[in-house]
Chain A
Amino acid sequence: MLTVLRRYGTLIGFAAILIFFWISLPDTFMTARNWLNISQQMSMLIVAAAGMTIVMVMGDFDLSIGSMASLAGIVAAILFSFDYPIWAAVSIALIVGLAGGAVNGLLISFVGILPFVATLATLTMLSGAAFVVSGGKTISGRVIPEAFGNFAREGISLGNWGGVAVSLPNLTIVALIVAVLVWVLLEQTTFGRRLYAIGGNSEAAHLSGVAVRKLKLIAFALTGGSAALAGVMYASRVASANPTQGSGLMLNAIAAVFLGSTLSEHGEPRLLYSIVGVLVLGVLDNGLTQMSVDSNVRQILVGGIIILAVSTSSYTRRLR
């Protein structure tokens, strides 16, 4: 009984939430349209949480992804205003993300600063940089190419379901691709295996010939890169960029990975579980919004659910 609760407590809770919304919102919640909508709302968080999973596998975390996402959106928007083509602006924004993440990795693995301190410092710096580059203003309107804004609004048509046109949003597709890539990286490659070894015991990994510092640097760079991608996706979705629009991403991404890791037998983060974590947060957000629950109350509920899930999991683990 306890083992069931420990392993599947979060899933059981998720099912309860689903049933609750299904009953409370019989007409709108369990519809294909709503779920595609949820998938689009969650797509940025999926990308950010997937990136966060990479470093959390090593037992580290990255506080700077929110401001990295904001900065990447700003960078892309500024480059648009200099008439850069979409592909170039987006690529440069992603490179900024990879580079920023690599700086995090450098500080943590080669200089030896704790991830908390290092990424807190870069959080501040990146956020400041986003304000400086943008002049503190929202960049929107004509400078943003139409095609860039349309990307988020379009998708692959899935035909007519019950007389309603449904399509798989482009942002959802991007998120799925990123999720698959990160899953392959963490579960199918020697790189991922070594990251898990570092997370389990970095000294033993080092003595087993794992290049701990180099791998940490690469992992943080990837996390920075995915944060930048999430930021660009956000900019596309709202067809504008402002220096604070990614700020909610960091806490939610960490929360999703923690929620997900309660599903794994040994408490390790895994990509699929992180996606479940994102789903829980996304469904809560969607359902509570539809029930017109105040957004501040929503935050209290979400925080409470995270505490509940993680504490049940660690409490039942201790009872063994």
Chain B
Amino acid sequence: MTLLSLKDVTKAYGGVPALKGVDLSVAPGEIHALMGENGAGKSTLIKILAGVVAPDHADIQLDGQPVEIGSPRQAHSLGFRFIHQEFNVVPALSVAENIFMGRQYPKRGGLFVDWRKLNQAARDTLQKLGISHIDPARPLGSLSLGDQMLVRISSAFIGDDGAPARLYVLDEPTAALSRGESERLFTVLRELRAIGASVLYVSHRLDEVMAICDMATVVRDGRSIDTGKIADITHDDLVTLMIGRRVEEAYPPAIAAPRGETVLAAQELGIRGGRNVSFQVRAGEVLGIAGIANAGQRNLLRTLFGDLAATGGSMVLAGQAYRPRSPADAWRAGIGYIPRERRSEGLVLSRPIFENTTLPHLAAQSRWRIWLTPRREKRVTSQQGELVRLKASGPGQRVRELSGGNQQKVVFAKALLGKPRLLLLDEPTRGVDVGAKFDIYSIIRDMAAGGMGVVLVSSDLPELIGMADRIAVMRDGAITDIVAAAGLNEERLLNLCYGR
């Protein structure tokens, strides 16, 4: 039995093929994983399903009947629902208003919005996801990123009269979610499956896919490579299928580097919205920072980087007092920074790679700090590109045209120019495909081996355990433990994060 079947889907953008022949078939009551590296064609396929992009060729059948998806409205009436990362929301409006956007609001006297009913309906919807801690009357923008994502997700689960939902398409829904929040989502997905709805699930997180999906289809270079039952496949097989070669280890081996002198020492450093923290990072060391969402990791990094003013305490960087008043001070002091959101915080997408790479270093990369030297900048950028294994047509290529993994490598090329003493990483592999992930881990290892101190904030616990030498655990804005990563397992680290 098949709910939806796609055969031989092709699509080219201006002569460049994005899909060269994809087959996909989803059964009713099935959670089906769609997997592949960035640029493999997943997004194009989803856009075709959503009626946003017209395929060059496709045989699409729903319940055995050929259908065409000419517009988002048509996709909706066929029973397709989409939840993607870049969902349209209005941060200034309330949670309830966002959930019911584009739908009929309950009215009083046929004219005025019945706010009480609206909020109650929103509360019921959230309750379906097991969410009770979100007040539907609050502005959406005041919630944490994870909570915002939950609200977006829940809005896709509202029952519509007329067009019952048949297939939910989720594109990287857990990217901003904490573990607990993801678990809630999975519970809902399992419930949907139980009532016969199907789910097409796109994620880079293999563990998740292994845990909740029934079937998987892997796409590579615009072709569907294989479809199979999750139960019959191993983690390693999936990786091999996705990138087309075997990756022996998820994390490159640690290079036994002699731990050098202290690069950064924070003494009772006051973090805005948190408490005072003390810790040290030595040369050649990767200090991991763990914690559940919003435990203060982000503000800690931003304080180290001079973007948030410290509320007290002191820092010593390479033996000298360090009091940054802006990110510019931090760059000058020899600190490189990889922000969490590469598109909104890390890159100027409309500018070429070399302009992004040299932006924090323009004083050193120019003549008399004033005159640009583009030829030298491009040469330096090419060297940096080799260092981070960047795949691009040249230093003059616009960053927007690169895949997610390569964009992140540009952020690294920028941070590593001029050999910083200390590298601050905020979720450096988020939304990055498996192959690029391994490259990024190797870069971090190489840098540490070269004597750089590294601070790694991550919500990916295996990543922390695999990459860090020591892990500082943050809870409610304070560092509660600092433990050696060797011999630590995920469960133990999770318990530390929750304070159990």
Contact = CB atoms under 8 A, between A and B. Distances in A.
A196 B347 CA distance: 12
Contacts of A204: 339, 344-348
A210 B349 contact: no
B347 A190 contact: no
B375 interface: no
B307 A207 contact: yes
Nearest to B307: A207
B350 A200 contact: yes
B330 A208 contact: no
A201 B370 contact: no
B360 A209 contact: yes
Given A194-B362, A204-B345, A209 B351 contact: no
B37 interface: no
Given A190-B362, A201-B349, A268-B350, A209 B330 contact: yes
Interface string B304-316: 0101000000000
A133 interface: no
A188 interface: yes
Contacts of A190: 362-363, 366, 369-372
Interface in B348-377: 348-351, 355, 359-360, 362-363, 366, 369-372
A320 B348 contact: no
B398 interface: yes
B345 to A, nearest CB: 6
Nearest to A189: B370
A208 B365 CA distance: 14
B327 A208 contact: yes
A190 B372 CA distance: 6
B359 A205 contact: yes
Contact of A197 (B328, B348, B398): B348
B14 A320 contact: yes
A142 interface: no
Interface string A168-199: 00000000000000000000111111101100
Contacts of A197: 348, 351, 355, 359
Given A188-B371, A190-B370, A194-B362, A203 B344 contact: yes
Interface centre among A188, A200, A208, A266 (most CB of B within 10 A): A208
A200 B348 CA distance: 5
B489 interface: no
B344 A201 contact: yes
Contacts of A121: none
A193 B360 contact: no
A189 B371 contact: yes
A196 B372 CA distance: 13
A218 to B, nearest CB: 13
B337 interface: yes
B414 interface: yes
A203 B351 CA distance: 14
B337 A207 contact: yes
B331 interface: yes
A206 interface: yes
Contact of A200 (B328, B349, B372): B349
A117 interface: no
A197 to B, nearest CB: 5
Nearest to B344: A203
Contact of B360 (A189, A192, A203, A208): A208
A208 B360 CA distance: 5
Interface residues of B, number: 32
Given A204-B344, A208-B360, A209-B359, A191 B327 contact: no
Contact of B372 (A193, A201, A206, A209): A193
A274 to B, nearest CB: 18
Contacts of A209: 326-328, 330-332, 359-360
Interface in B17-36: none
Nearest to A191: B370
A113 interface: no
Given A188-B372, A208-B360, A266-B350, A203 B355 contact: no
Nearest to A3: B14
Interface string A240-277: 00000000000000000000000000101000000000
A205 B348 contact: yes
A180 to B, nearest CB: 15
Contacts of B360: 208-209
A308 interface: no
B327 A206 contact: yes
A85 B325 CA distance: 46
A315 to B, nearest CB: 16
Contact of B328 (A189, A196, A211): A211
Interface string B53-78: 00000000000000000000000000
B132 to A, nearest CB: 34
Nearest to A319: B14
A91 to B, nearest CB: 24
Contacts of B369: 190
Interface centre among A188, A193, A197, A207 (most CB of B within 10 A): A207
A207 B346 contact: yes
A194 B369 CA distance: 12
Given A190-B372, A210-B359, A266-B398, A196 B351 contact: yes
A193 B327 CA distance: 18
A191 B339 CA distance: 24
A153 B350 CA distance: 44
Contacts of B398: 266
A194 B326 CA distance: 16
Nearest to A188: B372
Contacts of A203: 344-345
Contacts of A320: 13-14
A193 B362 contact: yes
A159 to B, nearest CB: 37
A15 B372 CA distance: 34
A189 B331 contact: no
Contacts of B351: 196-197, 200
Contacts of A196: 348, 351, 355
A255 to B, nearest CB: 22
A110 B327 CA distance: 17
A189 B372 contact: yes
Nearest to B399: A200
A26 B259 CA distance: 82
A204 B350 CA distance: 12
A204 B415 CA distance: 12
In the A-B complex, the 9 residue pairs with the smallest Cβ-Cβ separation, listed nearest first, are A200-B348, A209-B328, A209-B331, A208-B359, A209-B360, A208-B360, A200-B350, A190-B362, A201-B348
Given A188-B372, A190-B363, A204-B346, 8 more contacts: A190-B370, A192-B372, A197-B351, A200-B351, A201-B349, A207-B345, A208-B331, A208-B360
Interface of A: 188-194, 196-197, 200-201, 203-211, 266, 268, 320
30 contacts: A188-B371, A190-B363, A190-B370, A190-B371, A190-B372, A191-B370, A194-B359, A196-B348, A196-B351, A197-B355, A200-B348, A200-B350, A201-B347, A201-B350, A203-B344, A204-B339, A205-B348, A205-B359, A206-B327, A207-B339, A207-B345, A207-B346, A208-B331, A209-B326, A209-B328, A209-B332, A210-B359, A266-B350, A268-B350, A320-B14
